[in-house]
Amino acid sequence: MTAVTISYPSGQQQEVLLAGVPRVGESIRLVNGTPGSTLIVLHVLWLQADATDPTPQVIVEVRPRD
C-alpha cells in the first residue's frame, strides 16, 4: 500500500492508502468516498524524501468524473 494525498479542486486534501500510484488520466474510486463517485487523476507529484522525513510523498490532483 502507498500513502497518497488526494488534492481536490476545492483545495481540500485527504490522505488515503492506495494499492499503487495512479497514472494521469486513470479513474479511481475511494472506499470511503461518495457512493458511485469516481475521480479522474489530473496530475501526480512525487516529493523526494530527505533527512528529516525518509518517506517520499505522493500528491495526486483529481477532479470528479463528469
CB atoms within 10 A of CB 32: 6
**Residue 26 pLDDT grade (very low, low, confident, very high; cuts 50, 70, 90):** very high
**Residue 41 pLDDT grade (very low, low, confident, very high; cuts 50, 70, 90):** very high
Mean pLDDT for 41-47 is 94
pLDDT(43) > 90: yes
Residue type, 30: L
**Residue 35 pLDDT grade (very low, low, confident, very high; cuts 50, 70, 90):** low
| Contact criterion met (CB below 8 Å) for 39 and 14 | no
Q: Residue written as cell 490522505?
A: 15
Mean pLDDT for 8-21 is 90
Separation in Å, CA 17 to CA 1, 47, 51, 59, 66: 6, 17, 23, 12, 24
